[in-house]
């Protein structure tokens, strides 16, 4: 009996498959959240050079005196979209009476003030990634995308050998640790590392979770389930945008969307290893128990001879593999485990 035949006996998309599928779609929301968070944590508000003689200088004009000081210190911008230059400040000449005068020559500044109408603070404003350092933001985003690539290589293929549940839970742990740690990042190097790890966890949760959730779905509903999970990703993007409207501080926002991911640790007790993987590793007894539990939930009946009882009584090992292949004609055809009738 092929594995696909067993799936059909369970029903294409019964209560067991629905419960498992939607349970594994929930972490996909968090993956969408973390990718969308790049837009807000690395947001760049309007900015200009800070006035050297104003301790409480702000981007917003505070009054007439402040306006005169800004006009004198900050040269006009060559860009149509903004009035003042973002990266240059006029040179200062100290008068004989301690007065400060600004010249018509300018220099690059080292301190900035930022608009707070959209973001109260971001990673960019924390580290001053503007002007000559503006590419640092792009580099940080690149590390997140690099994590998606690296995770596809390092965290998806091992699931075929280690187990899909184990790799899924490992991805969850990486996701939790990296997402929360980003809120306390002290430097670009650490941020780059955390973004890369977070990107790895995103693709691993998506890939391993999708396989676990869809494996027992029948052919008639498989395309549908492949589409529906995309809505959970999109839902994560909408959630992030909504929260970002009310929470303008990047650190608070990062913690709000990341701390709840700790709840995903309960998946260790909520999901089991996939039956197809158990069969591929010749763990037939565990696979039989899992499939029969699924059949019970779906109110279906499976044949009693899916796996031979006398074979299940023996230890799983190399000897059993050889016996099973010779006596039951077990073959692997394109990923499907074919169990032929016993030979007399």
| 317 band by pLDDT with thresholds 50, 70 and 90 | very low
Determine whether 153 is exposed, middle or buried from the number of CB atoms within 10 Å of its CB (0-12, 13-18, 19+).
exposed
Residue 108 predicted with pLDDT over 60: yes
**How much is the pLDDT for 314?**
41
Query: Mean pLDDT highest for which of 46-55, 258-267, 299-308?
Result: 258-267
Of 95-104, 131-140, 162-171, 289-298, the range with the lowest mean pLDDT is 95-104
**Which is more confident, 340 or 11?**
11
Determine whether 280 is exposed, middle or buried from the number of CB atoms within 10 Å of its CB (0-12, 13-18, 19+).
middle
**How much is the pLDDT for 128?**
93
Cα atoms in the Cβ-side hemisphere of radius 13 Å centred on 64 = 0
The residues, any chain, with a CB within 8 Å of residue 268's CB and separated by 6 or more, are: 169
pLDDT in tens, 74-85: 888 777 667 788
Q: How far is CA 218 from the centre of its chain?
A: 28
Residue 331 predicted with pLDDT over 60: no
Provide the sign of the torsion angle of the four alpha carbons 219, 223, 228, 230, taken in this order. Answer: positive
Rounded to 5°, the CA angle 7-2-272 comes to 50
In degrees rounded to 5, what are phi and psi of residue 109?
A: -95, 165
Nearest to 164 by CA among 202, 220, 112, 205: 205
């Amino acid at each position: 009996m092929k594995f696909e035949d067993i799936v059909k006996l369970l029903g294409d998309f019964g209560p067991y498959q629905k419960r498992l599928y939607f349970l594994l779609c929930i972490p996909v929301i968090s993956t969408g959240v973390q990718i969308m968070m790049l837009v807000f944590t690395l947001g760049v508000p309007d900015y200009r050079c800070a006035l050297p003689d104003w301790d409480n200088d702000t981007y917003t004009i505070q009054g007439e005196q402040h306006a005169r000081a800004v006009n004198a210190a900050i040269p006009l911008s060559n860009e149509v979209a903004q009035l003042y230059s973002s990266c240059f400040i006029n040179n200062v000449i100290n008068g004989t009476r301690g007065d400060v005068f600004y010249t018509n020559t300018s220099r690059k500044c080292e301190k900035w003030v930022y608009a707070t109408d959209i973001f109260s603070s971001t990673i960019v404003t924390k580290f001053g990634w503007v002007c000559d350092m503006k590419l640092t933001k792009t580099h940080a985003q690149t590390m997140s995308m690099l994590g998606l690539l690296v995770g596809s290589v390092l965290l998806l293929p091992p699931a075929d050998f280690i187990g899909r549940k184990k790799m899924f839970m490992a991805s969850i742990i990486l996701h939790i640790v990296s997402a929360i740690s980003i809120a306390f990042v002290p430097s670009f190097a650490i941020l780059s590392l955390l973004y890369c790890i977070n990107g790895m966890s995103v693709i691993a949760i998506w890939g391993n979770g999708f396989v676990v959730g869809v494996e027992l779905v029948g052919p008639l509903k498989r395309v549908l389930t492949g589409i529906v999970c995309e809505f959970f990703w999109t839902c994560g993007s909408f959630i992030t945008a909504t929260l970002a409207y009310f929470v303008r501080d990047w650190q608070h926002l990062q913690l709000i969307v990341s701390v709840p991911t700790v709840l995903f640790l309960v998946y260790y007790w909520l999901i089991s290893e996939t039956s197809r993987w158990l069969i591929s590793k010749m763990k037939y007894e565990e696979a039989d128990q899992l499939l029969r539990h699924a059949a019970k939930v779906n109110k279906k009946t499976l044949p009693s001879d899916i796996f031979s009882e006398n074979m299940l009584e023996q230890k799983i090992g190399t000897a059993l593999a050889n016996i099973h292949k010779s006596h039951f004609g077990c073959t692997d055809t394109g990923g499907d485990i074919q169990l032929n009738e016993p030979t007399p």
